[in-house]
A = this chain, B = another copy of it.
Amino acid sequence: MSDQGRVRNITDLARLAGVSPGTVSRALADSQLIAKKTREKIQQLAREHDFRPNVMARNLRIKRAGAIGVLIPLGHETGQHISDPFFMTMLGHLADALTERGHDLLLSRVIPKDPDWLNRVVDSGRVDGVILIGQSDQIDVIEKMASRYLPLVAWGANLPGKIHCSVGSDNRKGGEIATRHLIERGCRNFAFFGDPVAPEISERLEGCRAALSAVNMSSNLSILPAHLTAETAHPAISKWLDDTRSIPNGIIAASDVIAMSALRALAEHGVTVPGQVHVIGYDDLPFSNQTVPTLSTVKQDLAAGAAHLVDLLFRRIAGEETGSVVLEPELVIRQSS
């Protein structure tokens, strides 16, 4: 392929068409200012050389980036991998929603060592806005940024007194309905698997406690407060099952990933689900109806969540000061409970 005659910019194309670069620019933008005949000639020429104007140059001039930064902050959870199904599901929905709006998705997995990680992305000028998938333990950094930078939204808990815009489900309520469901199923002794250091999980636990105290069973709850990832959950739960004197008959897992590990650990301990133990998860990830037995769970509608995140973000990019959104969690009953 002769790289000689290649059309690299509008100036090349302008020369070819015998017009000025400005005219080419307008013609390719289909501006009415340019005579229809000229316009079509230039567009035809562009097609022949399959030329496309340089997006970066355009964006520099236009002062927009055409991309949204999607960050996955992994603070206290250094072990957690980006391939965590939760993140990935959310990411897929975001990719779809952003593409629809003509924006690219700049993905970044950040392990926030210094408090500068967010500044770096925002001030780089390569994104028009930022979506955080999760707040991790970086609330302070996020709050600070939110005070000066409008187009920033986060998936996660809607924390009282915090100003940053968030979309998340009502975790307290989710924990509550999960627990109430198990109570109705006849469970009397409960275990909660999940680390309350993360705000979302702490709220779920709170909801769980509320449901129990409503029926005077507050004392029937034990907690496995480890930080549980896809890798660490199974050994932790297995050990817990070994150590615990009496296995509870209702298990509330803080996430589907944890619940899945629990199902497996229980199977290995010869405990039947839902025969001896009822298990409920949280999230309703795509795999949750593929487990054996299929997993009852509290659904967070991630598709809707992603749509909200993107919608709020674009309204903020336009200058609007939007509020946060709290989604209703929904009980999904399958075989495990």
Q: Spell out A's residues near B (CB within 8 Å).
A: 1, 50-52, 54-57, 59-60, 65-67, 70, 81-83, 85, 88-89, 91-93, 95-96, 99, 104-109, 119-120, 123-126, 147-148, 230-231, 234, 260-261, 263-264, 267, 286-287, 290-294
Chain B residue with the shortest CB-CB distance to A266:
B292
Residues of the B chain whose Cβ atoms lie less than 8 Å from the Cβ of A290 = 230, 234, 260-261, 264
Tell me the minimal C-beta distance from A337 to chain B in angstroms: 16
A and B contact pairs by CB, cutoff 8 A, 17 listed = A52-B120, A57-B60, A66-B126, A83-B85, A83-B92, A85-B287, A88-B92, A92-B109, A96-B109, A104-B108, A104-B126, A106-B106, A230-B287, A261-B290, A264-B291, A291-B291, A291-B292
Residues of the B chain whose Cβ atoms lie less than 8 Å from the Cβ of A126 = 55-56, 66, 104
Q: Bound complex: CA of A51 vs CA of B104, how far in Å? A: 25
Chain B residue with the shortest CB-CB distance to A261:
B290
Cβ-defined contact, B124 with A54, below 8 A? yes
Chain B residue with the shortest CB-CB distance to A85:
B85
Residues of the B chain whose Cβ atoms lie less than 8 Å from the Cβ of A1 = 147-148
Main secondary structure of the interface of A (DSSP, over half): mixed
Q: Assuming the A-B contacts A55-B124, A292-B291, A294-B264, are A82 and B109 also in contact, with contact meaning beta carbons closer than 8 angstroms in the complex?
A: no
- Selected from B54, B70, B82, B95, the residue in CB contact (under 8 A) with A125 is B54
Q: Bound complex: CA of A55 vs CA of B107, how far in Å? A: 16
Cβ-defined contact, A99 with B95, below 8 A? no
- Selected from B105, B120, B264, the residue in CB contact (under 8 A) with A292 is B264
Chain B residue with the shortest CB-CB distance to A3:
B148
Cβ-defined contact, B99 with A108, below 8 A? yes
Tell me the minimal C-beta distance from A51 to chain B in angstroms: 7
Cβ-defined contact, B92 with A99, below 8 A? no
Residues of the B chain whose Cβ atoms lie less than 8 Å from the Cβ of A83 = 85, 88-89, 91-93, 286
Which 10 A-B pairs have CB atoms at the shortest separation, nearest pair first?
Answer: A88-B88, A82-B92, A83-B92, A54-B125, A52-B123, A55-B124, A105-B107, A83-B89, A292-B292, A267-B292
Tell me the minimal C-beta distance from A251 to chain B in angstroms: 15
Residues of the B chain whose Cβ atoms lie less than 8 Å from the Cβ of A92 = 81-83, 88, 109
Chain B residue with the shortest CB-CB distance to A231:
B286
Cβ-defined contact, A95 with B82, below 8 A? yes
Chain B residue with the shortest CB-CB distance to A54:
B125
Tell me the minimal C-beta distance from A300 to chain B in angstroms: 14
Residues of the B chain whose Cβ atoms lie less than 8 Å from the Cβ of A106 = 67, 104-107
Chain B residue with the shortest CB-CB distance to A50:
B119
- Supply 16 further A-B pairs (C-beta < 8 A) apart from A52-B120, A56-B59, A260-B290: A1-B148, A50-B119, A52-B124, A57-B125, A66-B126, A83-B92, A88-B92, A91-B91, A104-B106, A104-B107, A104-B108, A104-B126, A106-B107, A107-B107, A261-B290, A291-B291
